A and B are shown apart, each in its own frame.
Chain A
Amino acid sequence: MTTTEEPQQNPVARTVDKAQYIVCAVLVAVGAFVIYDALSLEAGFAKVDPVGPKFFPIAIGGILIVLAIVLAIAIPRGSVGEADAGEDVDPNTPGDWRTVGLLVGLFVSVILLVNPLGWAITGTLLFAGAATILGSRYYIRNLVIGAVLAVASFYAFYSGLGIPLPAGILDGIL
């Protein structure tokens, strides 16, 4: 509220943020799935449970779809959500979606590799990979910090907290 120092934009020149239709799509997808799933439930109708297991999912799913419609109507009229600002975030720059895509790809490979390779290796790769993607050019240092963090957390969780993280191919060595 107090950070808007730039002059108020001319309402006529307001651009429509069409990307918001993604939100509509997500709302419809979630709503439709919740309703579809609820319809497959046994009603289990009892006099003392007039609500039943279906009511909440169907109501919530229905409202989600209604909200999607309301938003879809509001978007062309210039309704925009104010993107989150923050210390390191400059919402006025165009989004760097390539970085985000690379991070998501890195994360998917972590999910697939964490059991076969173990936490010590995937954790290292996760940290070093993310730091590199985010622009740190010191590749060796990235790997060293990642390895220290991953191995230290593996042992801390194993002996300190009694949580055995996956050891993977290093099983027996660690």
Chain B
Amino acid sequence: MENLDWLLQGFEQAATPMNLLYAVIGVLLGTAVGVLPGIGPAMTVALLLPVTYNVSPSAAFIMFAGIFYGGMYGGSTTSILLNTPGESSSVITAIEGNKMAKAGRAAQALATAAIGSFVAGAIGTALLAAFAPPISRFAVTLGAPSYLAIMLFALIAVTAVLGASKLRGAISLFLGLAIGIVGIDFLTGQPRATFGLPQLSDGIDIVVIAVAIFAVGEALWVAAHLRRRPADVIPVGRPWMGREDWRRSWKPWLRGTAYGFPFGALPAGGAELPTFLSYITEKKLSKHKGEFGRGAIEGVAGPEAANNASAAGTLVPMLSLGLPTNATAAVMLTAFVSYGIQPGPTLFEKEPLLIWTLIASLFIGNFMLLVLNLPLAPLWAKLLRTPRPYLYAGILFFATLGALAVNVQPLDLALLLVFGLLGLMMRRFGLPVLPLIIGVILGPRIERQLRQALQLGGGDWISLFKEPVAITVYVLMAALLLVPLVLRLMHRSEETLLVVEDDRDQKEKAAQA
């Protein structure tokens, strides 16, 4: 029950009028940028990192909690009203949700997405509060070799399992690792890859990298391919649901949550697979199979809940192990570092109040999202009509402002441009962004952990393979890399099964149309 006490203390911290104001700002900002095309939650947190430098850590995290859930919800609004999913995890929402909107049921689609997100977020956060502390208590007992193995596992999982092309994932990862080298070597004190610039001896500021890759890279990429035709937004009133909608929605919400959370908590789970699984399940179980493909409410409720629950799930490895597994978590982790908080399994021991405040603010942010967004939906729909030149000029403006504010030196702006161009290149050639960010964050920590583990083991490599957890993780890692190969040899990889199912869907839909 100790955790419950901490949670109550967290609520006490988070529920001051000033902090509640930060939560409102966070939710509004998060939803606004989530709705705006081209900006995701990761980019929002990255852009706001410099702003929060001079705010207290708890206030900053409360705001991030609002942004985290707000951004997620904003994305689904865009999918439903515009049929243009911003992230792969809201592709499924766009399929049924936009059909519903076209059939004049936009209000119900938005409502089931909002309430489903709330339900999934509340359950997911509760599961996070229940699971993260024991996992971190277990992780604290692990030695450096085990921790090293777990970090390597996360690195490989994110690169090899997510994304379509393993080669391109690896390219992105190793570019990130190379960026992570920059700075002073922690054991011998020598500058590495700093171009002789003393400003780089602490490494390249991760805020600058994140803002450059997410914001500048995206703005440049959009500039190259801006759609010249105006967006076709479906107007919407206040979201509401009838009795029948509730009856058809509540089970998909719960099933979606059950899919989403475990996938999010796994290092390579992601949000795409659970949303897809949820969609298939709802289609199988529904009594209204004929509506699927033409706007079935279950097809919005389930995947939306799965998406949000998976987002809550990604916070489990982030808070209990210090491992980021999606872009937003990665950027939030850099916020910890900028406050001098060392992410890792000792977080719950060293900063319990801060962490529980964050968890409490997730509950608060999630609730505020529901309260604020149902009445504000028509406003968000208007936001979708922002003239694109202003939107992307604004992104460039705030990216520059953010990078300049970190150290107030033009060198950071030059780095912003260089990494912005790198981000542009990655988007053009289909290199995934996430492995790069994870590589920048985890690379230096893996090197440090490896060399510290070896120091403790007297320089003996065998000492790395003596802990049972480490060995288990290495076996899992090998399995992760080998199983897809074996499956491919058997011509029945999971991926092809999904694609086949998907193709059939598309064909059926094409036939109906």
Taking Cβ atoms with an 8 Å cutoff, the residues of A that contact B are 1-5, 17, 19-20, 22-23, 26-27, 30-31, 33-34, 37-38, 41-42, 44, 46-53, 56-57, 60-61, 63-64, 67, 70-71, 74, 79-84, 86-91, 93, 95-97, 99-100, 103-104, 107-108, 110-112, 114-115, 119, 123, 126-136, 142, 145-146, 149-150, 153, 157, 161-166
Contacts and interface: CB of A to CB of B under 8 A. Distances in A.
A67 B95 CA distance: 37
A115 B424 contact: no
B209 to A, nearest CB: 14
Contacts of B272: 1
Nearest to A164: B408
Contact of B429 (A23, A111, A115, A162): A23
Given A57-B193, A149-B397, A99 B223 contact: yes
Interface stretch (B118-126, B344-352, B361-369, B399-407): B399-407
A129 B455 CA distance: 54
Nearest to B421: A104
B372 interface: no
Interface stretch (B22-30, B182-190, B312-320): B182-190
B451 A1 contact: no
12 contacts: A23-B431, A37-B192, A38-B192, A53-B192, A57-B192, A70-B167, A89-B38, A100-B424, A103-B223, A114-B413, A127-B394, A136-B390
A164 to B, nearest CB: 7
A47 B455 CA distance: 8
Contacts of B170: 63, 67
B234 interface: no
| Majority secondary structure, A binding face | helix
B41 interface: no
B224 interface: yes
A115 B35 CA distance: 35
A71 B167 contact: yes
B37 A130 contact: no
A22 B192 contact: no
B429 A81 contact: yes
Contacts of B473: none
Given A61-B178, A86-B38, A111-B417, A123 B454 contact: no
Nearest to B187: A49
Given A88-B231, A130-B396, A157-B405, 11 more contacts: A1-B499, A2-B506, A26-B422, A42-B188, A48-B455, A56-B443, A79-B167, A95-B428, A111-B414, A115-B410, A136-B387
Interface in B282-339: none
